[in-house]
Amino acid sequence: MATSSVVKLSASQHPEFSVSGITAESAEATSKLLQENHDHHHILSSQSGFHNHIAHHLLTLFALGASPSIIKKQYDRNKIYQRPPGALEDSVVDDMHGPERFKSYLGDEKYYRDFLVYFEKEIEQKGWENVLNEYVFAGDERAEDLLVRMHGGFLHPMIHLGFGVEFQQPAIIAEALAQAAVHDDWIGTFLLPAEQAAKKNHQSKSKSLVELLEEIRADKKLSTAADWDDGNKIRDGLLKRAPEETIKYASQYIVQESELNEKVAEMTNAAIYYTSSAQNPKKLIKLDFYYMHCVNSSIFYSVFLKQAWLSNANKVRILEWKGRMDLAMYASRRSPDLLIDEVTSYKPKIAIKNASDSWANVFERVRNYSDDGHSAKLVRAVAHGQTISEPYEATDSFRVKQDMWLNLGNMVIDSVEAGEPRWVRSAGFPQAWDNVPDRLGAHL
């Protein structure tokens, strides 16, 4: 049985998106390796803040039907650069029970293991649903702080939490809580004022994310607020040079409880739209590394929507925060032109015979592709995006539709298999494309 410190998957599980043929052997192999990762690795692979993606990668491979041998191969490839979780201080774990003392340990990666054990014990005593409601969604000072930190690090704690909830693994949820606790909280200087501004606006209906992307692109102050040399292009660019504009557009995205299903689909579609169409026609197709995280996290809002323990008010709130994060992320990469023709006219490396076979080929290739899991997560998120977007494709705010989905699945795996750089980083800056090979036949 899965517990707060033991990972235990089952072939009978129903992930948000999966392929048929998940086996008990793969469940056992994935559980064993995730347990090793839980017990022996830090959530950050370096003190510079790079994340340990092993849990994301293996759970994605499991959902995509990977064999035990592939799962083990991918784990072995990525475990070599992980680091130990650090020494456990029982006195620190005990000290964390005091609210003021809890605060004193936040934002410091050296306390990851202490936070992990602390949350394992809390989950063991109270259940993971109750712990999440208490520590993340209660609305008090401690929960507000941890909810903000959940959105740090390009949404990695929210992604990690999503995997834990999707696969019903309390140990992964404990990792996510500990990960959030050691992240910084500067993103709150954007998310909280944007939320306050939205309440003051008294809008009854939101602008669509596509409309807001277009308005951000047209706003020259905001769309050029980030500089290439900024260490963090949201914090040091948007929030320094165009804070009012950043909040103005973000606050115009709101969600009503009655439209949660459509709004999750719209958010997913919009993130895939701008991630896929931010291209340079003179260069090979490459997807933006930062935008990709907005897509990879999108699948978990469908997961959160199905949780009976999470209030509708909190479902609305985290979806609003996600949409606002996506808008800020788009602007922070210099708001590139969105060239949807790059998707509609894309010719996959392997010709499409029929949808079923082509998706199967994409899944097979990404299962075997050697990276840290970003590619597999992106393929699964795109495939999921197709399933939840289809009922709304007649709506103008859903720009990705019909045959474009299969093109996109192929674009992802074709682009990373094409070689370095796997991703373009900050697609709206000309400098980001300097090391990307030229496209054959392009007029340079």
pLDDT digits (tens, 9 = 90+) for 321-350: 999 999 999 999 999 999 999 999 999 999
pLDDT of residue 172: 98
Reply yes or no on whether the pLDDT at 442 is more than 70.
Answer: no
pLDDT of residue 205: 86
Residue 106 lies in a domain: yes
* Alpha-helical runs (H) found in 336-443: 341-344, 355-368, 374-389, 404-417
- pLDDT tens-digit map of 138-197: 999 999 999 999 999 999 999 999 999 999 999 999 999 999 999 999 999 999 999 999
Task: Place 444 in a pLDDT band, splitting at 50, 70 and 90.
Answer: very low
Mean pLDDT within 221-238: 98
The rounded distance, in Å, linking the Cα atoms of 154 and 133 is: 23
Give me the chain's average pLDDT, please: 96
Number of domains in the chain: 1
Contacts of 379 (CB under 8 A, 6+ apart): 64, 362, 363, 366, 409, 412, 413
Task: Place 441 in a pLDDT band, splitting at 50, 70 and 90.
Answer: low
Least confident of 207-216, 399-408, 435-444: 435-444
Among 150, 180, 399, CA closest to 297: 150
Residue 99 lies in a domain: yes
- Residue 351 CA: distances (Å) to CA of 216, 248, 279, 416, 417: 36, 44, 22, 17, 16
Residue 112 lies in a domain: yes
| Residue span of the structural domain in which 34 resides | 1-184
Residue 305 lies in a domain: no
pTM, rounded to two decimals: 0.97
- pLDDT tens-digit map of 17-62: 999 989 999 999 999 999 999 999 999 998 778 999 999 999 999 9
- For the chain, the farthest-separated pair of C-alpha atoms sits apart, in whole angstroms, at 65
Reply yes or no on whether the pLDDT at 356 is more than 90.
Answer: no
Residue 137 lies in a domain: yes
Residue 340 lies in a domain: no
Q: Mapping DSSP to helix (H, G, I), strand (E, B) and coil, where does residue 399 land?
A: coil
Contacts of 235 (CB under 8 A, 6+ apart): 186, 187
Task: Place 256 in a pLDDT band, splitting at 50, 70 and 90.
Answer: very high
The rounded distance, in Å, linking the Cα atoms of 223 and 50 is: 27
For residues 340 and 399, the answer to whether their CB atoms sit within 8 Å is yes
- Residue 46 CA: distances (Å) to CA of 41, 51, 83, 282: 11, 7, 7, 35
pLDDT of residue 120: 98
- pLDDT tens-digit map of 106-150: 999 999 999 999 999 999 999 999 999 999 999 999 999 999 999
Reply yes or no on whether the pLDDT at 312 is more than 90.
Answer: yes
Query: Where do the DSSP E strands lie in 148-285?
Result: none
Among 215, 221, 190, 205, CA closest to 253: 205
Residue 33 lies in a domain: yes
Residue 238 lies in a domain: no
Reply yes or no on whether the pLDDT at 443 is more than 80.
Answer: no
CA torsion, ordered 93, 127, 148, 290, to nearest 10 deg: 100
Render 45-113 in DSSP notation, one character per residue. SSTT--B--HHHHHHHHHHTT--HHHHHHHHHHHHTT--------HHHHHHTTSHHHHHHTTT-GGGHH
pLDDT of residue 84: 95
Contacts of 197 (CB under 8 A, 6+ apart): 247, 248, 250, 251
Q: Is 153 left (phi over 0), alpha (psi -120 to 50) or beta?
A: left
Residues in the chain: 444
The rounded distance, in Å, linking the Cα atoms of 319 and 321 is: 5
The rounded distance, in Å, linking the Cα atoms of 106 and 429 is: 34
Reply yes or no on whether the pLDDT at 232 is more than 90.
Answer: yes
Mean pLDDT within 347-372: 92
Q: Looking at per-residue confidence, does 385 or 440 come out higher?
A: 385
